[in-house]
Amino acid sequence: MADFEPGSLPDLLPLYYRRVFPFGLYGRWLRYGDVSKNYFQRREFSFTLRDDIYVRYQSFNTPLELEKEIQKMCPYKIDIGAVYSHKPIQHNMVHLGAFQAQEKELVFDIDMTDYDDVRRCCSSAEICPKCWTLMTIAIRIIDRALVEDFGIKHRLWVYSGRRGVHCWVCDESVRKWSSSLRSAAVEYLSLVKGGEETIKKVTLPDNIHPFISESLNVVKRYFREYALVEQDILGSKESYEKVLALVPENILSRAYGACQRVLHILLGTLKKMAHTESEIMLQYCFPRLDMNVSKGINHLLKSPFSVHPKTGRISVPIDLKKLDEFDPFAVPTISRLCHELDTVSNDEGDAKENDGEPENSRRSRDYKKTSLAPYVKVFEQFLEEMEKSHKKERLKNTLALQKICTAALLHPSL
């Protein structure tokens, strides 16, 4: 079938939102089991409509109300914001200063354009299999740190639909973090410092922190194939001079010789200077996070299962168990999904099967019959694990409360 054409989006979105978008699971996620009164109702959503019309501070009483509004408006893009002190739709009716963002998932945004100074294959919004390895490395480094260093359990990694990845950290305690805590977390996870004018962006201390050591272990798994083969960072004078610019002069003077031999001599010398070798590896491969996206509680981020208006690809969850196999170019486009739905609709047997079934049941069957199904399954498994954990925690708290009450009854003096 034909590739996605951006001009076709207005015709495809109604079908996508009506028959494919997994609204049932989506509502389960953002309700979090209704952890507090009006929790879902106080969540901000924003819509980007046709002709770049941007609508903020949308909120809904129920997930079903959100579903109907999306199907009515057919937004080109959906963003998710914070849970506020009041319903966002009423923000103009609240006294100045009273309307405050109270909590939100800790989010991370990693964009391939931030690696333009170290990738040779592509630039700007372009990506290819050669540079996508950078996103794989970033996910492995950040996810390991979230789990092992921060003790976080519930992370949803999502492909943006074009040139990057997002992470939603959904643990209840983390959702309540202040901006300063979020900033501290991003600072901990950041190593590449400096703007375009900065040549050397990674400088390691004498005593390397365990987070950096663990990150290096990840980078080393990919570096030779990615940097020396696929990116061929020493394959031209311009590219290897960028590498040499990161080497201290006292080491460089020992390594400089004929251009044909500089790679072998340099690598042999760097092995004796572990920090320099590590600094080069990290500058070329370490994750580059957008601090502003993560630290602001009221910062909005593109919703999972949104359609990217430029590529037509769906913003899908990433299965961490198959991370090395993830292919952004294999992610279904909205045009492909609509074509698959047309095939399903033309199947007479399937039409009979659906005859008389409620709309929710038909929609569930529809997305399960498209190439979006495995990605929705990843999302569903994420939700099930999170809900199971929440139930276990609630049971633990209930039992603890029962013990306290029993002790109080047996010992009134307490």
Q: What is the largest CA-CA distance in the chain?
A: 88
Question: Do 100 and 245 fall into the same domain?
Answer: no
CATH number of the domain residue 388 falls in: 3.90.920.10
The whole-number pLDDT of residue 219 equals 98
Given a cut of 70, whether residue 405 has pLDDT beyond it is: no
CB 340 within 8 A of CB 371: yes
Question: Do 95 and 242 fall into the same domain?
Answer: no
In a domain, 189, yes or no: no
Question: Do 250 and 387 fall into the same domain?
Answer: no
**Which of these ranges, 24-33, 101-110, 190-199, 354-363, has the smallest mean pLDDT?**
354-363
**132-135 — which CB contacts under 8 Å span 24+ positions?**
132/327, 132/328, 133/222, 133/225, 133/226, 133/230, 134/226, 134/285, 135/110, 135/164, 135/165
Cβ burial 265-301 (10 Å sphere, 16+ → b, else e): ebeebbeeeeebbbbbbbbbbbbbbbeebbbbbebbb
In a domain, 376, yes or no: yes
* Angle at 310 (CA atoms; ends 47, 50), nearest 5 degrees: 35
Distance, in Å, from the CA atom of 313 to the CA atom of 327, rounded to the nearest integer, reads 12
Question: Do 338 and 376 fall into the same domain?
Answer: yes
Among candidate residues 67, 109, 171, 366, the one labeled active-site is 109
Query: Tokens 């074009």 correspond to what residue?
Result: 162
Q: What is the pLDDT of residues 14-42, one digit of tens each?
A: 999 999 999 999 999 999 987 677 999 99
Given a cut of 60, whether residue 350 has pLDDT beyond it is: no
The whole-number pLDDT of residue 342 equals 86
Active-site residue 225, yes or no? no
Question: Do 61 and 88 fall into the same domain?
Answer: yes
Please state, rounded to an integer, the average pLDDT across all residues of the chain: 88
As for how many domains the chain has, the answer is 2
Question: Do 30 and 121 fall into the same domain?
Answer: yes
The whole-number pLDDT of residue 345 equals 67
Q: Is 291 helix (H, G, I), strand (E, B) or coil?
A: helix
Per DSSP, the residues of 200-269 read: ------SS--HHHHHHHHHHHHHHIIIIIIIS-TTSSHHHHHHHHTTS-HHHHHHH---TTTHHHHHHHH
- β-strand partners of 289: 110
Query: Tokens 């914001």 correspond to what residue?
Result: 81
In a domain, 413, yes or no: no
In a domain, 195, yes or no: no
* Angle at 8 (CA atoms; ends 7, 11), nearest 5 degrees: 130
Active-site residue 109, yes or no? yes
Domain boundary (285, 304, 319) is at: 285
Q: pTM for this one?
A: 0.89
Question: Do 379 and 254 fall into the same domain?
Answer: no
Domain boundary (285, 305, 333) is at: 285
Question: Do 168 and 269 fall into the same domain?
Answer: no
Among candidate residues 79, 111, 171, 366, the one labeled active-site is 111
Q: CB neighbours of 355 closer than 8 A, spacing ≥ 6?
A: none
In a domain, 91, yes or no: yes
Confidence of residue 51 (pLDDT cuts 50, 70, 90): very high
- Residue 305 has phi, psi (to 5 degrees) of 70, 10
DSSP state of 313: B
Q: What is the pLDDT of residues 249-302, one digit of tens each?
A: 766 655 554 444 555 555 555 554 658 889 999 999 999 999 999 999 999 999
Question: Do 221 and 174 fall into the same domain?
Answer: no
Q: What is the pLDDT of residues 216-246, one digit of tens each?
A: 999 999 999 999 999 999 888 888 888 888 8
Token pair for 280 = 């080069």
User: What value does the mean pLDDT take over residues 317-339?
Assistant: 97
Question: Do 227 and 278 fall into the same domain?
Answer: yes
Residue, of 24 and 96, whose pLDDT is higher: 24
Question: Do 214 and 343 fall into the same domain?
Answer: no
In a domain, 237, yes or no: yes
Distance, in Å, from the CA atom of 193 to the CA atom of 289, rounded to the nearest integer, reads 11
CB 135 within 8 A of CB 245: no
Domain boundary (232, 261, 285) is at: 285
Active-site residue 44, yes or no? yes
Confidence of residue 136 (pLDDT cuts 50, 70, 90): very high
CB 125 within 8 A of CB 113: yes
In a domain, 406, yes or no: no
Segments forming the whole domain that contains residue 157: 6-126+152-180+291-347+360-397
Q: What is the pLDDT of residues 197-222, one digit of tens each?
A: 899 999 999 899 999 999 999 999 99
In a domain, 185, yes or no: no
Question: Do 299 and 264 fall into the same domain?
Answer: no
